[in-house]
Amino acid sequence: MSDNSLRLVWIYPDLLSTYGDQGNALVVERRARQRGLDVQRLDVRSDQQIPTSGDIYLIGGGEDRPQRLASERLIRDGGLSRAVSNGAIVFSVCAGYQILGHEFINDLGERQQGLGLLDVVSTRGEAERCVGDVLADIDPQLGLPPLTGFENHQGVTHLGKTARPFAKVRFGKGNGVGDGYEGAWNDTVFGTYMHGPVMARNPHIADLLIKLALDVNALPPVDDTWYEALRQERIAAATTPA
């Protein structure tokens, strides 16, 4: 990328965009423009080829059948995997998170191959569905404030040796394994179960992706008044007994 431009790719909005996850693309785009960047945003539908020249790729959540179709098409296309090999940043949510792993359970009850971009494996949980507000502490290595989001999933995601937990849960279920971890990341690939949309609740995650794309340590400050009000409201909701 050039010093003043950012190529943002929203993957399969026709299949993977539940719970307002497309809002993540809106937040990344806005916060980049607030820093004077020329943002080129491309929404790629499932019948289109994934470009390999993007800087940041975003994937949302979806129902079981669309998730299976998305995984099949992403594997067949190969563009996202090639982009990651070239250093692109990927942030995925819920079904998109599972797709980035080695495998998950599809709508037919079968093990479905994923992209293998994260060292995780997802199965179908037998316990109560994970639903509700979440508050978690993001991996200190990423230098971000606490994570707030909304989870709604039956999936259980197990991390392999090369995947780092994205966050440690204070309230909520996270990956559903029972170890208190939420999401996973490795190098430039991130996955989480958090909806909300997660970028609106946690704009510093959007800033992190932009910094990684620009290869800089800091960005010019912007007005976070609206975001911080939403953050505090949702943090209170997560920590207040029902």
Cα of 8 vs its chain's centroid, Å: 14
pLDDT tens sequence across 130-163:
999 999 999 999 999 999 999 999 999 999 999 9
Mark whether 195 is an active-site residue. yes
Which residues of the chain carry a pLDDT beneath 70? 1-3, 242
pLDDT at position 240, please? 83
Annotated binding site: 129
Known active-site residue 158: no
Segments forming the whole domain that contains residue 158: 5-239
Q: How far is CA 73 from CA 14, 31, 45, 154, 211, in A?
A: 13, 30, 11, 23, 29
Read off the CATH number of the domain in which 134 is found: 3.40.50.880
The single residue of 102, 153, 158, 195 carrying the catalytic annotation is 195
pTM of the full structure: 0.96
pLDDT digits (tens, 9 = 90+) for 177-196: 999 999 999 999 999 999 99
Pick out the residues of the known binding site for substrate.
129
94, 130, 158, 204: the active-site residue: 94
Which run of H or E residues covers position 96? helix 95-100
CA distance 227 to 153: 25
SS3 215: coil
Provide the pLDDT for residue 94.
97
How many beta carbons lie within 10 A of that of residue 216, not counting itself?
A: 10
pLDDT at 2: 52
Closest listed residue to residue 101, CA positions, set 163, 19, 145, 12: 163
Q: Count up the domains in the chain and report the number.
A: 1
